[in-house]
């Protein structure tokens, strides 16, 4: 894990655009923001685009503050410019929140589609980035949540899971779905929940569906402590062990350019793995 990068900067001008998928609540947003912060520490220009109606992707990069969302502004009928929706957070990370309706009202999926189209129109900031992370909610409940990929915006999809059966089951479904829409998987990340043989299980899963395990993030109280105060681990506890894990993951992602069309496992096999 955490291989050495030979090229310091992304020399091709095209930004690396990734999304991390996984079961709801498994840790996508905290992984995304810590990776964003770690890449910024490495000198990369980073942007994070929160595509979750709960708008919680960038809070820990903004010292706990909330920013106006694209959809809120669109709804109020103002003419939106880049400056209204793109905010600089920790170490220059550009933060954007798509926003969306209250739970149970309207259509959040359509919201994502409209907002990312709007963003594309008004913002050139994306062109100057080395890394753009789309942070999506756990359950891809409808077409809108997959729009960043469908619209050809995301070039690399990562899968985040723990070694528990349900998160693996969700991860497996995501792999199947991605293959269906011809989108390869660039790697599996384990966000541990401290279950037995966890690394081995996720490693096996990754291997059997054709990809590999690129990081093992332990479960640490410090992640939640920093989060509670409104910060990423990278900012609040840069010398912690887990900060080094995020740093390595960031380097791996920046240097990685392999991806595979995933082959989802049979459910029976999944159960066997976790038994």
Partner 1 sequence: MEKVKKEISIIHPRPSSIVAALYTLRDLDVDVAILHGPPGCSFKHARLLEEDGIHVVTTSLDENGFVFGGHDELVALLDKVSEMFNPKLIGIVGTCVSMIIGEELHDAVLEANPDVPVIEVEVHAGYRNNTKGVLFALESALDAGIISEDEFDRQKVLLEEATIVEKRHGAASKEYLAPSRGDLKYKVAQRIIDLLKEGKRGITIMNAKKETGYMFADVTVAVNEVAKQLGVGSNIVNMANIDDTLGLPRVRHHAKCIAADFKERGIVIHENIGGMDEYPIAGDVAGKLIEEKYSDYDFVIITGVPHAIPMDCIPGMEIISVTNGPRQVLPMKEMGHDHVIVEIDLHPKTLGVNNIVESEFGATLREVAKDL
Ligand X SMILES: Nc1ncnc2c1ncn2[C@@H]1O[C@H](COP(=O)(O)OP(=O)(O)OP(=O)(O)O)[C@@H](O)[C@H]1O
Which structure tokens are listed for 34?
Answer: 């810590």
Residue 118 known to be catalytic: no
Q: Are 35 and 253 in contact (CB under 8 A)?
A: yes
Q: How far is the CB of 210 from Mg ion (least distance, A)?
A: 26
Site of tokens 């199947």: 176
Q: Pick the catalytic residue: 28, 45, 94, 204?
A: 28
Q: Are 89 and 58 in contact (CB under 8 A)?
A: yes
The yes or no reply on residue 143 touching partner 1 (CB under 8 A) is: yes
Picked from Mg ion, partner 1, ligand X, none, the partner binding residue 81 (CB below 5 to 8 A depending on kind) is partner 1
Q: How far is the CB of 181 from partner 1 (least distance, A)?
A: 7
Q: Among candidates 205, 224, 212, 223, which has minimal Cα distance to 163? A: 205
Per-residue mark of binding to ligand X, 87-126 (x: CB under 6 A): ----------------------------------------
Q: Which of 29, 33, 55, 161 binds Mg ion (CB under 5 A)?
A: 29
Rounded-to-integer distance, Cα 49 and Cα 116, Å: 9
Q: How many CB atoms lie within 10 A of CB 102?
A: 9
Residue 54 known to be catalytic: yes
Rounded-to-integer distance, Cα 113 and Cα 153, Å: 12
Residue 28 known to be catalytic: yes
Q: Which of 43, 78, 120, 166 binds partner 1 (CB under 8 A)?
A: 78
Rounded-to-integer distance, Cα 169 and Cα 71, Å: 32
The yes or no reply on residue 198 touching ligand X (CB under 6 A) is: no
Rounded-to-integer distance, Cα 36 and Cα 247, Å: 10
Residue 41 known to be catalytic: no
The yes or no reply on residue 84 touching partner 1 (CB under 8 A) is: yes
Which structure tokens are listed for 8?
Answer: 């310091």
Q: How far is the CB of 144 from partner 1 (least distance, A)?
A: 5
Task: Please identify every residue annotated as catalytic.
Answer: 23, 28, 54, 139
Site residues, partner 1 (CB under 8 A): 73, 77-81, 83-84, 107, 109-110, 113, 142-144, 146-147, 150-151, 181
């Amino acid at each position: 894990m955490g291989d050495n990068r030979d090229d310091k900067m992304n020399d091709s001008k095209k930004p690396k655009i990734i999304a991390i998928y996984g079961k709801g609540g498994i840790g996508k947003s905290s992984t995304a923001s810590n990776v964003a912060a770690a890449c910024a520490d490495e000198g990369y220009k980073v942007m994070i685009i929160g595509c979750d109606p709960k708008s919680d992707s960038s809070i820990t990069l903004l010292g706990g503050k909330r920013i106006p969302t694209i959809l809120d502004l669109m709804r109020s009928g103002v003419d939106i410019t880049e400056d209204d929706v793109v905010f600089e957070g920790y170490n220059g990370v550009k933060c954007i929140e798509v926003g969306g309706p209250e739970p149970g009202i309207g259509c959040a999926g359509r919201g994502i589609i409209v907002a990312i189209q709007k963003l594309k129109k008004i913002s050139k900031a994306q062109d100057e980035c080395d890394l753009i992370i789309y942070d999506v909610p756990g359950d891809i409940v409808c077409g809108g949540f997959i729009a960043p990929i469908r619209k050809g915006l995301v070039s690399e999809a990562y899968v985040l899971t723990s070694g528990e059966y349900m998160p693996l089951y969700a991860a497996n479904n995501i792999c199947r779905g991605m293959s269906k829409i011809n989108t390869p998987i660039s790697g599996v990340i384990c966000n541990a929940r401290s279950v037995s043989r966890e690394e081995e299980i996720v490693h096996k899963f990754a291997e059997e569906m054709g990809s590999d395990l690129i990081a093992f993030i332990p479960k640490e109280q410090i992640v939640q402590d920093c989060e509670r105060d409104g910060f990423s681990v990278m900012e609040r506890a840069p010398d912690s062990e887990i900060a080094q894990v995020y740093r390595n993951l960031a380097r791996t992602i920046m240097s990685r350019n392999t991806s595979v069309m995933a082959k989802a496992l049979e459910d029976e096999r999944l159960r066997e793995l976790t038994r």
